[in-house]
Amino acid sequence: MPNERRKKIAQNSLLLQTFPQDTQDMILSMSSWREYDRGETLFLQGETAKAIHIVTEGWVKLYRIAPNGGEAVVNVFAKGQSFGEAVAFRGQAYPVSAEAVTSCEVMRIPSVALLEAMRKDPEIAVAVLASTFMHLHSLVSQLEQLKAQTGPQRVAEFLLELCEQETGSCVVTLPYDKFLIAGRLGMKPESLSRSFARLKTAGVHIKRNHAAIEDIEMLREYSESDPVEAWHKAQ
């Protein structure tokens, strides 16, 4: 396999990119890769964490099964993103389960490797904290969305995060199937469908797994508007 490619992706990940070269090499030499098929489980909630994961290809979802059987998608990670930093250090139990949503390739850094690096260079600890903070921040954003925005507004924000531009119009590709998108946004697939239908008046047109956005700024305005106001706009 193209081992160099993997290394490059890992080195450019948010977690490792700020580390000095020799530390990166040390960590990479202690890590392993594994490929997963779509639907395969990386780990289950409750299992003891012994490694940090970095996605080098494909998509991985973190989810949680509530005691009542409901599934809550906590996050979906793409190439270059890492997860499990904070939990691995203490050998604690994963609070979530992880599953491959496409066939994918994941790098496993044994937590002892990072612990060792942290002992040598306290700056590494700060870098790990910074990376953990990103996750914290993303969870806070999700909470805000769930508590303070309507369904269609959450969908609008999701689409906005996918496009790279700030203004104008663009076409984005939906990264995974609608069932998963719905889960990530805390709604049922049917509600997602209806939300897409609503967004037509805000200049969004869905065709298969592509979404055409007429005017990014208009959509942003919609996602940031007052729920009652948003309703009138969508009539």
Partner DNA sequence: GGCTTGAAATGACAATAGTCAAGACACGGC
Partner DNA sequence: GCCGTGTCTTGACTATTGTCATTTCAAGCC
223 burial level (CB within 10 Å; 0-12, 13-18, 19+): buried
Of 2-10, 28-36, 92-100, 170-178, which part binds a second copy (CB under 8 A)?
92-100
Task: DSSP letter for 60, please.
Answer: E
**Hey, what amino acid is at 17?**
Q
In the complex, the smallest distance separating the C-beta of residue 94 from a second copy, rounded to whole angstroms, is 10
- The correct pick among 5, 8, 119, 200 for binding a second copy (CB under 8 A) is 119
CA atoms of 99 and 120, how far apart (whole Å): 33
Q: Residue 78, interface with a second copy (CB under 8 A)? A: no
Which does residue 209 bind out of DNA, a second copy, none, counting CB within 5 to 8 angstroms by kind? DNA
Pairing of strands 210-213, 170-173: antiparallel
Tokens of 100: 């491959």
Of 35-43, 59-67, 97-105, 173-181, which part binds a second copy (CB under 8 A)?
59-67
CB atoms within 10 A of CB 182: 20
CA atoms of 101 and 169, how far apart (whole Å): 29
Site string for a second copy, 162-191 (x = CB under 8 A): ---------------------x--x-----
CA atoms of 76 and 161, how far apart (whole Å): 13
In the complex, the smallest distance separating the C-beta of residue 148 from a second copy, rounded to whole angstroms, is 3
Footprint of a second copy (CB under 8 A): 64, 66-74, 85-87, 89-90, 92, 95-96, 115, 118-119, 122, 125-126, 128-130, 132-133, 135-137, 139-149, 153, 183, 186, 223-227, 230
